[in-house]
Amino acid sequence: MKVRRVVTGHNKAGKAVFVSDTEVEPITTALLDGSEFHRLWGSDRTPVFPDDGSPPAQPAYFPPVGGFRFGMFSLPPGSHVRPAITDRDAALREVAEKLPGLLEHMEPDAPGMHTTATIDFEVVVDGEVWLELDDGQEVRLRTGDTVVQNGTRHAWRNKSDKIARLAVFIVGAEHKRSM
């Protein structure tokens, strides 16, 4: 699915202008077959205005403290059969290239589980998805439901028969190992 992104900025006189109106192609990978990621906007530092609306640098998928990300992701239905990966090293390199830093947060012995030093604001825009926390705790989320994810260990599961789409705003945060 393509996602339309309209960006505003300022001209040299400081007046608000439309800078771009484009369709953003999804990022897909062999390893995460059936999933789509739209990296729509973000920065590793606090914005300063007025600006010309140029996209800020955002080298890693997850932002550092003071940074943010705005995007969408889609999860295939639970019945989706992923094709066998014949070259695992190439598949891992592809994810590292297209979604830098994502795999470093994933738990290899617990597929889908991950923890990030971020606060994530999510809204289900289509379908339904299950949010799983430690010890298998789950909550079912439907279209229009929202989540405030406070740096917790979690995984997204789609147990339905159709694709689930979520919009997400992620803010970098401090993450200490104990309270």
| DSSP 8-class letter at 112 | T
pLDDT in tens, 142-169: 999 999 999 999 999 999 999 999 999 9
Query: Domain of 156: which CATH number?
Result: 2.60.120.10
141: confidence class by pLDDT, cuts 50, 70, 90: very high
User: How many folded domains does the chain comprise?
Assistant: 1
Residue 5 lies in a domain: no
Identity of the residue numbered 74: S
Distances (CA, A) of 144 to 37, 39, 64: 19, 21, 28
Over 80: is that where the pLDDT of 115 sits?
yes
- What's the predicted TM-score (pTM) here? 0.90
**Structural domain of 58:** 25-172
Burial of 137-154, coded b for 16+ CB within 10 Å and e otherwise, reads eeeebeeeeebebeeeeb
For residues 98 and 39, give the distance between their C-alpha atoms in angstroms, rounded to a whole number: 10
Residue 18 lies in a domain: no
Residue 146 lies in a domain: yes
